[in-house]
Amino acid sequence: MMQDPSLTELLERASAWAQQDPDENTQAQLRQLCEKVRSGDDSAALELADRFAGNLAFGTAGLRAELGAGPNRMNSMVVRRTAAGIGRFLRQRAKGTYVPSAVIGFDARYNSDVFASESAAILTAAGITVSLMPMALPTPVLAWAVREFAADAGIMVTASHNPPADNGYKVYLGGKAEPGWGSGAQIVTPADAQIAAQINHDEPMIDIALAHTGWKVLPGRAEPGDIEAAYLEKITGLLTAIEDAPTADLALARAALKIVLTPMHGVGGHTMATGFAASGFSHVAIVAEQEHPDPDFPTVAFPNPEEPGAIDLAVALAQRTGADLVIANDPDADRCAAAVNFPDTGWRMLRGDEVGWLLGTRIAQTASQDSVFANSIVSSRMLASIAALRGLGHRQTLTGFKWISRTPDLAYGYEEALGYCVAPDLVRDKDGISAALLLAEYAAELKAANSGFPQVLDALALAHGAHQTDQLSLRVKDLGLLGTMMESLRANPPRELAGETVAQFEDLSLGAHLPPTDGLLFLTEANTRVIIRPSGTEPKLKCYLEIISQATDAQQLPSLRVAGQEKLDTIKRELSRLLAG
């Protein structure tokens, strides 16, 4: 049978890849796939073509993709070449005899420990001083360690809340190798492009040197200098720094608060539970089915607290135990979700913006006057109003903590996707551990005063207007469709949203007020705002909606919110039809 020349070339490329692959599992996987292709399996041919469609791009999110063999997947070949590129990047920027340093962490996903160890071996061989986390730990521990050790780089092997089949590689910069970038934050332009330029996607594996020893494994649990304990000592000290009530009263308030915690099968369970215990929160029930790390995430369809049903087990446990607060971390614990019992409507998860307002309100109570709050452009506009009421500064940034964390004089930053930076001096990234501790502290204070988060949210709505937010996400199979859809909207923007005239249309790619980014902003005469942008980590087009309504008393709020949700639903239907066309 005659074989398509392009298919023959693809099989040759796959065979050459398999010959170099240092991982026996992915090597065998690729050879089995090639056999299916040779036997005439069309679906196997499509799969093989996708794996070799291009090189996995290194960008501001580092790397993130499905595990598997081939240059368009996460595997040891891709990781080793990337680590070698990072090593060259760090060495080129070292001045004189300065020796760059790096800290490497990993979560509990498949191959995370392998990718971390391979990276440690490659960077050590390249002359980098490397510290490796002793076990799977939350991303915030790694982000803290980059600043704590004044490391020049940090690498976290994680795919955060992506599906079980994925893994990723997140990179931070700090230290002395690049003055001005030494914040310990995630990489941004131009560092991403400069690192990418140092990655040789054809570099033979035999040419990449691996050290067999020489890197330091940081102390683990029950060892002197335990890295997790050191992080928690600093983070739990945050609560001491903000206390303004008698110690005995605070201790009683914390002890009285009943918390349900779910780590969502991730690595945050031990760290979070230990942090709660060290801070005096003695009534913490952990969702047993989701307590321990499990890379298959068996009880959730998608390991993201934002997804419908993800915190159902936690809410059910809260109902059985009469809890006051549910805390949910995502699998690498850099995000924090919360749920509370509303007096009239029952338990529900708070939106990311609502948690952002609550933490902003709490931090504003003790923030110094030179403090600055920040949130991403797709997050709610209420934080700016909260900051203004307290005479604090406020900045709007591009989406992502790589931008939020770089805000000068930052005291607090958040994004609606459950990311909160409540201790920027310690962690220049979102941190689901410290955010959860501060949120619990606030809940305990309110409970002691016979109040709670629902009452605070009502008060905020009366003081700043009832801000209601929602999202619409459209997943696509072909990434090329995202660009087509965005260009179509640029050429034919909607003139009305839910019957309101669009008074302002801004193409964010032109960079009028922020650095250019692929996004569109629509603002109606009634102050309804819609922002549309492609996701940075998933094949989705995301629409962020916000309306603001005014109420004169609390009795108006329920009906106002019902009408507001109806308007949001109308806008989502209109956008769905528009984007489908």
Enzyme catalytic residues: 160
Nearest Cα neighbor of 449 from 240, 238, 256 is 256
Q: How is residue 387 written in tokens?
A: 């900051």
Q: Please count the residues of the chain.
A: 581
Query: How is residue 107 written in tokens?
Result: 């979560």
The whole-angstrom distance between residue 335's C-alpha and the CA centroid of its chain comes to 6
CA distance 310 to 288: 14
Question: Cβ contacts of residue 170 below 8 Å, gap of 6+?
Answer: 61, 62, 139, 155, 156, 157, 158, 186
**φ, ψ dihedrals at 404, nearest 5°:** -55, -45
Phi, psi of 269 (to 5 degrees): -60, -55
Name the H helices within 300-452.
312-321, 352-364, 382-389, 401-404, 432-448
Burial level of 509, CB count in 10 A (0-12/13-18/19+)? middle
Chain position carrying tokens 């109570």: 365
Q: How far apart are CA 522 and CA 532, in angstroms?
A: 9
* Token pair listed for 375: 């949130």
User: Do the beta carbons of residue 164 and residue 297 sit within 8 Å?
Assistant: yes
CA distance 106 to 138: 8
Residue 80, phi then psi, degrees to nearest 5: -65, -45
* E strand or H helix that includes residue 296: none
452-456 contacts at long range (C-beta below 8 A, 24 or more positions apart) = 452/324, 452/340, 453/338, 453/340, 453/350, 453/354, 453/358, 454/340, 454/342, 454/343, 456/358, 456/361
Backbone angles phi, psi at 35, to 5 degrees: -60, -40
| Cα 491 from Cα 420, distance rounded (Å) | 35
